Amino acid sequence: MSLLRPIVVLALSAVCMGYAATVITAPSSNNRPIIGVLSQELSRSLENEWGELNYTSFIAASYVKFLESAGARVVPIKINREMSYYTDVINSINGLLIPGGANFYNTSGYGLAGEILYNLAIDLNNQGDYFPIWGTCLGFELLIYLMAGKDDPRIVCDAWDKADPLDFEIGFNKSKIFSPAPSSVVDILATEPVTANFHRWCVTKELLTEANIVNDIDILATSVDHEGLRYVAAFESKTYPFFAVQFHPEKPAYEWNIREKNIPHTANSIHVSSYFAEFFVNEARKSTHQFPTLEKERSSLIYNYAPTYTGAANKTYDQCYFFTD
């Protein structure tokens, strides 16, 4: 492929050509995709600053912008709700993004809601109803945890505030994520420090083997932490349209805090991040779910909430959506 060919053309042409065969059959393209983003409890730093306002959960605005940049709308998914809420929302949206965060164990609303949504997505796909999931950082770890039957396969590591290239695995170019990628994206990822890593837990190939899920996923790339530990950086399910990366593709374009020094903001890092956004939104286009009424759709969208500028307080996120319900 030409290095100069626009990424959006390549991403759209990839939809037309189709990805590698999967168990699930994807329907025709939906040009009005809506993706749910899972909320979570306030982090300690956010709680210290905004906890007195009775906020119960939040979503970093960078995830919303990431998806909107590729042509999707966003619905915030609340935590600590009844099963009927999650069933209704997953049957109304076209994909799920599970963002990074702090904790996913069953004491967290994020973890409980994530498990419910994961199981609902499994059921949908088993019925031939195409429904993709994207996991970023803690979302990556949550998917691994659930695939392993809630037997945590992670190990403590130090990959905080670290920008890295990806070390691709053999066969990565046949994967759903990377087979449509232009050579410019692959070359940048393989040679430049364009992935923003902010995690203190890692999953290695050996741990995935011990967890008996290494045959359920395709490991696509690895990276190395500050101490030289090699960990899995990207994978996709062999059976379901589930994709995950340990790094943060939303940060290069949308997070500018000066406390963390190694978020890449180069033109190439933005080019790569845009590819990941377009890839997942194109996956969501394969879902034909819709809200039962236009009124319900409109009342569910993130547009009903105003983001708060949190970056001025030197927090991790420049903007956040806060929720009280």
For the annotated catalytic residues, the residue numbers are 137, 248
Enumerate the domain spans of the chain.
7-323
What pLDDT band is residue 312 in, cutting at 50, 70 and 90? confident
Q: Which two tokens stand for residue 38?
A: 């899972």
Helix, strand and coil percent figures for the chain, each rounded to 5: 35, 20, 40
Does the model's pTM come out above 0.85?
yes
pLDDT at 53 over 90: no
What pLDDT band is residue 315 in, cutting at 50, 70 and 90? confident
Domain 7-323: give its CATH code.
3.40.50.880
Q: Alpha helix locations (H) across the chain?
A: 7-17, 44-50, 61-68, 83-90, 109-126, 138-147, 183-191, 205-210, 251-254, 267-284, 294-300
Sort 147 into a burial class: Cβ within 10 Å, 0-12 / 13-18 / 19+: buried
pLDDT at 21 over 50: no
Q: Which of 256, 242, 164 is nearest to 202 (CA)?
A: 164
- pLDDT (tens digit, 9 = 90+) per residue, 191-237? 999 999 999 999 999 999 999 898 899 999 999 999 999 999 999 99
- Classify 195 as helix, strand or coil: strand
pLDDT at 4 over 60: no
Which of 113-117, 151-155, 304-308 has the least mean pLDDT? 151-155
